[in-house]
Amino acid sequence: MNQLSSRLGRNISLLYCIPQNKFQNLFAAGRLRLQETIYGHCAWVFVQHFLNRLGSEYASLVSALDSNNSAHAEILSNVKRRLRTETFTSAYILEIMGQYPDLIRSLYSSFAETHFHGRISSEESSPTTPVGVLGDKSLKDLISRTVNNEHEQLVMDAFRTFNNSVLKTNFFTLTKVALSFRLDPSFLPAIEYPQPLFGIFLVISSEARGFHLRFRDISRGGVRIVKSRNRDAFSINARRMFDENYGLANTQQTKNKDIPEGGSMGAILLDPQQQDKGSVAFEKYIDSIIDLLLPPVTPGIKDPIVDLYGKQEILFMGPDDNTTELVDWATEHARKRGAPWWKSFFTGKSPKLGGIPHDHYGMTTISIREYVSGIYRKLKLEPATVRKMQTGGPDGDLGSNEILLSNEKYTSIVDSAGVLVDPNGINREELLRLAKERVMISEFDISKLSKDGYRILVEETDATLPTAEVVANGMTFRNTFHLRRTGLTDVFVPCGGRPESIDLLSCSKLIENGKSLIRYIVEGADLFITQDAKLRLEQAGCILFKDASANKGGATSSSLEVLASLSFDDAGFLKHMCVGKDGVAPAFYKAYVKEVQEMIKCNARLEFEAIWRENAQTGVARSVLSETLGIAITKLDGELRNMGLWYNEPLRRSVLRDALPKLLLDKIGLESIIDRVPDSYLRAIFGSYLASRFVYEFGTLTSPSAFFDL
């Protein structure tokens, strides 16, 4: 009876997670058992994303191009996207799988033997089918003998890749809301993914599928929800999902060069018919990942899992597209589930939970301003005379804070509502009003424009400018304004806009007679300009700083928020870092925010000076040096971690005293911080601080071995 009850409970649990799987017809026909069909469904999702189908053409192209050249890397990325043709659609993969239920049974048997068998009680029977358990080599031979062609073998062999890469899963726990798998990323081909990942989580629910990727054990990055307008858009999003997730995590890795966390990123792709279920999908994604991070504490409800990884894992996440309003729930949920790291699980949470909101305190903008101000300082420019264009208007985080903190002469602003232009300078007081109220330029009082100024909204047609030019379509005018040769822009600070808004083709509109029409660009918005376009603009004389350097202030703020969460015990955290119900922030919180802002300025200034110096010495483009610095810091950091320096206690304590915020040291003490903060995190602080300070001071051309000669 106990066996039957347990088996029934597990089947109900699986049905709750995936009530409609792609192999129900085989279950109805008696060809597969329930757990086998849901296993097959999960493998089908895996195969869609990881079937290696680029072929020899891509390998030849990789060998011909220099993957260390950022422009070449971008070309390879674009070609890879094109080479992933429709040959293996999700429907075609499913069709192949459906032909071989006996193979699915054998593959499931191997999966269950690893992740279930041996962990159940003696009176409970195995959930596997009566198929003999085969080893990987035998499965490979069986597939080769059974399938009819190369395509079918490629698909069914991907099942083996799935089985071999799963390090732990909640598939066999009695209670769960979604299925989660911790994957060993070593199966990813290095030719396609040259920067190796540290870990992959795959989550599959009835509403969505999701990934969480990280490049180091200690990593931090956002989690976004991806929506699709229709089924065609979903298919495109699904094909691009993993590669875009990988690219964003890699960008975060570069951005995090001088903080302890490496780069990570999470993405949740809603199924076509579940576009209104973002919150539910997010909650299931978080809960199922927590299943793999926490040891079971309630036998019969949260059962032990087979952990082939065998080490403690802590993830640090933050808000991104469509998840900003959900991070408080994630924090509270981790707390309810007894996670000791609930305080640091998510950054971007509300101040009542100890969060430091980037937008409220302008954390990202503070970093951007250091680069803009650095240019003015180096070139001895008077900011009030510099004519400025900005995309991303006064209603957004970066746009509003850039307006509030800047002191240039704004001549044009582009936002979702349209375009606002005044060659004589946009009225400062009115612009500040919009920024403080967080409203778009559609709210601007146009009576405060000069006779040469104008505003064109996206819904307008056949509008006449003061120059007598007729704007036929306001939407088109808005979308292309940043490429117009207005002669009104000295500095351009993108604070919003679509990725790749300036590419190699369109950037030619900003170059005349071999010279850039815009002298200075500080890329506040992520990926606004493609790397090859950046290089072309720099060749034409533009002084350009890219996103991974300029907008890293938010990442620094999040890192220091995590550190405070780890350093305080629960009582101290609630007292000193959580804003009360009356909305009054503790004195420590206010002071800590100011120290965070100063550390952001310091890190940005150090990197700015290093890039400026190396560009002057070598002539290497600044957008390339941004990546070169990141690679040099990451490499030296890795070497330092493998050395015995950490075990030199006087050095370790000295470095930590320099690296840790003074307020935390004064309030908590170094000994308590060392006791509370995980050793791996302290090692990351130690390595990243030493490596970044060395590279910023001595440059990328100095051999890392010189570090040990100091």
Give the pLDDT confidence score for residue 302 in this predicted structure: 67
Flag whether pLDDT at 121 surpasses 80.
no
- In this predicted model, what pLDDT tens digit does every residue of 193-226 receive, in sequence order? 888 999 999 999 999 999 999 999 999 999 999 9
Tell me the average pLDDT across 548-576.
94
Q: Among the ranges 12-26, 242-256, 626-640, which has the highest mean pLDDT value?
A: 12-26
- In this predicted model, what pLDDT tens digit does every residue of 70-116 receive, in sequence order? 567 667 666 666 665 556 788 999 999 999 999 999 999 999 999 98
Token pair 């975060």: residue: 252
Give the orientation angle of helix 587-618 with respect to helix 622-642, to 10 degrees: 110
Quickly list DSSP for 635-675.
Answer: HHHHHHHHSSGGG-HHHHHHHHHHHS-HHHHHHH-HHHHHH
Q: 235, 269 in Cβ contact below 8 A?
A: no
Token pair 């929800």: residue: 225
Give a three-class secondary structure readout of 334-380: HHHCCCCCHHHHECCCCHHHCCCCHHHHCHHHHHHHHHHHHHHHHHC
Flag whether pLDDT at 702 surpasses 70.
no
Is residue 183 within a helix (H) or strand (E), and if so which, with residue range? strand 179-183
Give the pLDDT confidence score for residue 68 in this predicted structure: 58
> What percent of the chain stands above pLDDT 90?
73
Give the pLDDT confidence score for residue 393 in this predicted structure: 93
Per the structure block, which two tokens stand in for 629?
């610095």
Q: 207, 271 in Cβ contact below 8 A?
A: yes
pLDDT band at 122 (very low <50, low <70, confident <90, very high): very low
Contacts of 354 (CB under 8 A, 6+ apart): 343, 561, 564, 565, 573, 574, 577, 578
Give the pLDDT confidence score for residue 125 in this predicted structure: 38
Give the pLDDT confidence score for residue 4 in this predicted structure: 58
Burial 621-659 (b: 16+ CB within 10 A, else e): bbbbbbbbbbbbbbebbebbbeeebbeeeeebeebbeeb
Q: How many residues does the chain have?
A: 710
Inter-CA distances, 585 with 592, 600, 666, Å: 11, 21, 19
- In this predicted model, what pLDDT tens digit does every residue of 220-255 receive, in sequence order? 999 999 999 899 889 888 988 998 899 889 888 888
Give the pLDDT confidence score for residue 388 in this predicted structure: 98
pLDDT band at 1 (very low <50, low <70, confident <90, very high): very low
Strands 511-512 and 543-545: unpaired
Inter-CA distances, 325 with 224, 464, 581, 650, Å: 11, 41, 19, 44
Tell me the average pLDDT across 566-574.
95
Flag whether pLDDT at 580 surpasses 70.
yes
- In this predicted model, what pLDDT tens digit does every residue of 173-186 receive, in sequence order? 888 999 999 999 99
Per the structure block, which two tokens stand in for 319?
């808000």
- Rounded to an integer, what distance in angstroms lies between the CA atom of residue 355 and that of residue 190? 38
Per the structure block, which two tokens stand in for 123?
């009176």
Give the pLDDT confidence score for residue 123 in this predicted structure: 38
Per the structure block, which two tokens stand in for 246?
């990988």
Q: Of 343, 349, 342, whose CA–CA distance to 293 is shortest? A: 342
pLDDT band at 146 (very low <50, low <70, confident <90, very high): very high
Flag whether pLDDT at 332 surpasses 70.
yes
Flag whether pLDDT at 527 surpasses 90.
no
Q: 219, 313 in Cβ contact below 8 A?
A: no
For 11, counting Cβ atoms within 10 Å of its Cβ (0-12 exposed, 13-18 middle, 19+ buried), the class is: middle
Q: Of 120, 123, 102, 121, whose CA–CA distance to 112 is shortest? A: 120
Per the structure block, which two tokens stand in for 579?
């804003």
3-state secondary structure of 2: helix
Q: What is the mean pLDDT of the chain?
A: 90
Give the pLDDT confidence score for residue 257 in this predicted structure: 85
**674 phi, psi to nearest 5 deg:** -65, -40
Give the pLDDT confidence score for residue 644 in this predicted structure: 81
Regarding predicted confidence, which is higher, 169 or 5?
A: 169
- Rounded to an integer, what distance in angstroms lies between the CA atom of residue 239 and that of residue 250? 18
Token pair 């032909």: residue: 99
- In this predicted model, what pLDDT tens digit does every residue of 265-288 receive, in sequence order? 999 999 999 999 999 999 999 999
Name the DSSP letter for residue 502: B
Give the pLDDT confidence score for residue 385 in this predicted structure: 96
Tell me the average pLDDT across 49-57.
70
> What percent of the chain stands above pLDDT 70?
90
User: Nearest 5 degrees, angle CA 43-CA 44-CA 46?
Assistant: 60
pLDDT band at 119 (very low <50, low <70, confident <90, very high): very low
Flag whether pLDDT at 117 surpasses 60.
no
Per the structure block, which two tokens stand in for 287?
């809960």
Flag whether pLDDT at 342 surpasses 80.
yes
Rounded to a whole number of angstroms, the distance between the first and last alpha carbons of the chain is: 71
Q: 289, 194 in Cβ contact below 8 A?
A: no
Flag whether pLDDT at 483 surpasses 90.
yes
Give the pLDDT confidence score for residue 709 in this predicted structure: 62
For 298, counting Cβ atoms within 10 Å of its Cβ (0-12 exposed, 13-18 middle, 19+ buried), the class is: exposed
- Rounded to an integer, what distance in angstroms lies between the CA atom of residue 259 and that of residue 686? 10
Inter-CA distances, 555 with 368, 401, 548, 599, Å: 12, 17, 10, 12
Contacts of 268 (CB under 8 A, 6+ apart): 203, 208, 209, 210, 223, 224, 225, 226, 278, 281, 282, 285
Regarding predicted confidence, which is higher, 479 or 55?
A: 479
Give the pLDDT confidence score for residue 324 in this predicted structure: 86
Flag whether pLDDT at 669 surpasses 50.
yes
pLDDT band at 129 (very low <50, low <70, confident <90, very high): very low
Inter-CA distances, 194 with 77, 220, 247, Å: 11, 20, 11
Q: Which domains does the chain have, with CATH numbers?
A: 2-346 (3.40.50.10860), 363-550 (3.40.50.720), 552-709 (no CATH)
- Rounded to an integer, what distance in angstroms lies between the CA atom of residue 623 and that of residue 532? 10
